[in-house]
Amino acid sequence: MASGDYFVSGAGDDNRTCAPFEPVRCDCFITESTFGLPIYRWRPQREVFADVDAWWRANAAAGRASVLMGYSFGKAQRILAGVDASIGPILVHGAVEPLNEAYRAAGVALPATQLATEVKDKAVLSRALVVAPPAVAGSAG
């Protein structure tokens, strides 16, 4: 059996983008575990997203766009499922939106998103959360 990224929830944590982790008996298990060492301890998601929402809200009030980097497949959707979409518009990179559509088609509730390249009104950008893959950091795209 092989697995890519997975999420083991803690007390009060909820990953709204995938089914809960379930141990399965197998003879051999191959996994990606970049952050699987016990030295990594993560704050509960609700606390992280409360901080993200406060940061986005403050930026929107100041007329600044907020940009979060997340891999197009999985991390971006986890970000989208966790933020408070009432704060402002959510814009995404072109590599993120097709996967958002696939998640929605699979029944995962994600807030409405718009391609960042389609936004013509700069006032929208001043309140927006932009989600893009890390590969575009520092680029114009």
pLDDT at 2: 64
Mean of pLDDT over the chain: 86
The model's pTM: 0.82
Domain assignment present for residue 98? The answer is yes
Domain assignment present for 6: no
Q: Which residues contact 79 (CB under 8 A, 6 or more apart)?
A: 52, 68, 70, 131
Q: Is the residue at 35 inside a domain?
A: no
Which single residue is written with the structure tokens 């699979």?
Answer: 106
What is the distance between the alpha carbons of residues 97 and 32, in angstroms, rounded to a whole number? 25
Which DSSP state fits 134? G
Please count the structural domains in the chain. 1
- From the number of C-beta atoms within 10 Å of its C-beta (0-12, 13-18, 19+), residue 110 rates as buried
- Tell whether 12 is covered by a domain: no
Chain-centre distance of CA 6, in angstroms? 14
Per-residue pLDDT, averaged over 71-81, amounts to: 92
Evaluate whether residue 106 is within a structural domain.
yes
Residue 57 lies in a domain: yes
Range of the domain at 86: 45-136
Residue 72 in any domain: the answer is yes
Does residue 113 contact residue 92 with C-beta atoms inside 8 Å?
yes
pLDDT digits (tens, 9 = 90+) for 95-118: 999 999 999 999 999 999 999 999
Evaluate whether residue 104 is within a structural domain.
Answer: yes
Cα distance from N-terminal residue to C-terminal residue, the chain = 38
For 77, list phi and psi in degrees, rounded to 5. Answer: -70, -35
Q: Does 37 have pLDDT greater than 90? A: no
